[in-house]
Structure formats: C-alpha cells, structure tokens
C-alpha cells in the first residue's frame, strides 16, 4: 500500500496518504480508454468532414460543427467527474 506513517493531519506534500494498490488503475486500461476516445473523436471528425464536403459547407461552419461534436464527446467522458473544465460553443 505504500508508506502512510500515520500522519494524516498534515497538509505537507511529503505526508499525503498513498493510494492502495487495489484502487490503482492499471496503465493498460487507461491507454485503452484514451484510445477509444480518440477513435470516437476521429470517426466524428471524419463524419463531419465527409458530410461537409458533399454539401459544400463553408469552413467556419465545419469548425463550429467539429467543435460541438468534440464538446459533446468531452462532456460525456467527464460526466460525473469533478473538473473545472467548461466547454463553450459559439452560437450562430
């Protein structure tokens, strides 16, 4: 489990409690999660670019659509997690 030294009342960086091994996330599963999120972002970007090519959409509109898709993916992946990141989309 790591060192603990029973110093839970101190705020010093050197005396913070350690994470138990049973609660640690293996690096392979973290890489797997990131890879799946990047794959989803890539497929959404390709979808937006393909539809915009066929419909001759102006570049600013493409950027806005891509930004909204990425914000949606980011919001879903951060749902339920404490974070200070806020996604904003430009309204037209």
pTM above 0.85, yes or no: no
Which pLDDT value is given to residue 83? 47
CB of 89 closer than 8 Å to CB of 67? yes
CA distance 11 to 78: 28
- Three-state DSSP at 7 gives coil
Q: Write out the chain's pLDDT in tens, 92 residues.
A: 455 555 555 666 666 667 777 767 777 776 677 777 777 877 877 787 777 777 777 777 777 777 777 777 666 665 655 544 444 555 55
- Three-state DSSP at 34 gives helix
Return the closest-CA partner of residue 69 out of 38, 86, 39, 45.
Answer: 45
What is the domain partition of the chain in residue ranges? 30-77
């Amino acid at each position: 489990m790591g060192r603990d030294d029973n110093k839970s009342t101190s705020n010093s960086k050197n005396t913070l409690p350690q994470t138990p091994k049973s609660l640690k996330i293996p690096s392979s599963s973290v890489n797997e999660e990131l890879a799946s999120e990047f794959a989803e972002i890539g497929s959404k970007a390709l979808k937006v670019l393909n539809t915009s090519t066929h419909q001759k959409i102006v570049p600013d509109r493409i950027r806005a659509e891509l930004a909204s898709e990425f914000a949606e993916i980011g919001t879903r992946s951060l749902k339920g997690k404490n974070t200070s990141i806020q996604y904003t989309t430009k309204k037209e």
